[in-house]
Amino acid sequence: MNRALLIVIAALFVGAAVLWATWFIPDGPLRYLAVIGAAATAYMALNVGANDVANNVGPAVGAKAITMGSALALAAVFEICGALFAGNEVITTVSRDLLVWDHGFADRTMMLAMISALLAAALWINISTLFGAPVSTTHAIVGGIVGAFAAAAGLNAVAWPVVGTIAVTWTLSPILGGILAAAIHALIRKLITRRIDKVGAARLWVPLLVAAMAGLFTGYLSTKLHPQGWRPDVYTIAAISLATAALGWIIAMPWVRMNSLTMENRKKQVGRLFRPPLIVAAALLSFAHGSNDVANAVGPFVAILSAIGAAPSPIAGGIAPLWTLAIGAFGIACGLALFGPRVIHTIGEQITKLNEIRAFCVALSAAGTVLLASAFGLPVSSTHVAVGAVFGVGFLREYLAMRNMQGAAAGNARFLDPASLNATPEEAIARERRHDRRYLVRRLKVARIAAAWVITLPAATAMGALLYWLVSSVISL
């Protein structure tokens, strides 16, 4: 689709969101700021959908388990469902925890700062999406809020220890995701794909892996979703997860047996058994993302509305208005459909080559890492976890390939590239290693993504401060 047409459609959505909001925003002297906030929220939601949702469906698309069109439709439906049906709490946790509310904020100042934060985060995500770089939308909105409120009310208005904790997740999230994904991939290699009877091994282990996925995703969703204020304890989560795992095994066992009866004893054939679980994982990740990360777009808007009495304040608790969630839900879906393919291609195809098994490892790692981090009270970025999992799978394959080459170089030169035949074993290994790295993991793409991660928080912070000064100056004219 023509880029100009995409921009026009996005602009029409922002206009529709503003018209929708005017039905609900009460009259008053600051009503115009709330309307501007609705436009900024719609713009932010579009960018969350364009960038963040790629983590959920990118591996499945890269593995050719689902087409781009089907992935966009699947993710859009589950994102909307997650945001509308499970994102109904006051979603201002980010702004509540980041700011020292005892500092005191005038209503107009707070509204201008939240508008500036939304615009700063959305602009940064927009720029990142243009370059195909997956970034954390949570880090972007955190940076926007920090910069805007520091400019509006001084450095003491920001809870800097919370900011520091979030910054630590830059390294924690991808490392945890990468290690777990690599471990799962190594386990599947050992249990299934390296066995002589691959089909027989798959009949035993694939249902168990599906059961593990069902249990992990149940636990993952239990930590992310809290309908009607329900807060399950660790024992309740464990019991529900075990029950769901057993149900997953019961469903998967006959399906795997039926579909493996005429299957060839090849890894590629066995990989087809992972397609349905991978698609289900993409749907569940999208549902969880819609319920959780809609807060990055709507949370600051709820804080804006609280200044005019149209929503609960960030420190009072309560239920977010459903109409605000609708802006976030449909904005995320619209942004995904219009601009999502660029980042989906990056995650699914441009970092390393994925197949059904590797993509399954990425999805399972994403859910498992977030669940593990939640158990220890560690905040992690779902974006960093998912991309780190792709890195982990790619680097494991690269390590295994280099190890095989070293054995081939030492034992028989005919396994090497023809250009390596007249070289010493060390030179041959080095040449093959350089070639293999280019093929298995694209270093330039990794470097660009890592750079985008590192500068997201400071860049969004600087933009938040700059936009506050700009917005407040323009509105004061």
Residues 118, 121, 123, 126, CA torsion sign: negative
**Contact predicate 360/273, CB 8 Å:** no
The CA distance from 302 to 321, in Å, is: 8
Residue 387, both tokens = 């991309």
Residues 37/43/44/47 CA torsion (nearest 10 deg): 180
Please count the other Cβ atoms lying within 10 Å of the Cβ belonging to residue 233: 8
- Give the residue carrying structure tokens 């689902």: 66
**What is the extent of the structural domain holding 154?**
3-476
Q: From residue 389, how far is each of 55, 174, 278 by CA, in Å?
A: 10, 7, 15
pLDDT value, residue 62: 92
Please count the other Cβ atoms lying within 10 Å of the Cβ belonging to residue 190: 12
Q: From residue 210, how far is each of 15, 93, 243, 303 by CA, in Å?
A: 44, 33, 13, 41
pLDDT value, residue 409: 58
What are the percentages of helix, strand and coil residues in the chain, rounded to 5?
80, 0, 20
- Any idea what the Cα angle at residue 45 is, between residues 41 and 49, rounded to 5°? 175
**Contact predicate 59/392, CB 8 Å:** no
The CA distance from 366 to 385, in Å, is: 6
**Angle in degrees, 0-180, between the axes of helices 31-51 and 322-345, rounded to the nearest 10:** 30
Grouping H, G, I as helix, E, B as strand and the rest as coil, residue 421 is coil
Residues of the chain with pLDDT under 50: 413-421, 432, 435-438
449 class by beta-carbon count within 10 Å (0-12 exposed, 13-18 middle, 19+ buried): buried
pLDDT value, residue 419: 47
The CA distance from 421 to 428, in Å, is: 7
What's the 3-state SS for 140-202? HHHHHHHHHHHHHHCHHHECHHHHHHHHHHHHHHHHHHHHHHHHHHHHHHHHHHCCCCHHHHH
The CA distance from 13 to 15, in Å, is: 5
- Any idea what the Cα angle at residue 11 is, between residues 139 and 387, rounded to 5°? 30
In the chain, what is the straight-line distance between the N-terminal and C-terminal CA atoms, in Å?
Answer: 39
**Contact predicate 405/429, CB 8 Å:** yes
> Considering the entire predicted model, what is its pTM?
0.88
State the DSSP H helix or E strand holding residue 403, giving kind and residue range, or none if neither.
Answer: helix 382-411
The CA distance from 36 to 44, in Å, is: 12
Residue 159, both tokens = 């809870």
The CA distance from 294 to 275, in Å, is: 28
Provide the CA 198 distance to its chain's centre, in angstroms: 33
Number of domains the chain contains: 1
**Contact predicate 243/211, CB 8 Å:** no
pLDDT value, residue 61: 94
Of 282, 369, 342, 376, which Cα lies nearest the Cα of 74? 282
102 class by beta-carbon count within 10 Å (0-12 exposed, 13-18 middle, 19+ buried): exposed
Residue 228, both tokens = 């009607």
The CA distance from 120 to 113, in Å, is: 10
φ, ψ at 223 (rounded to 5°) = -85, -20
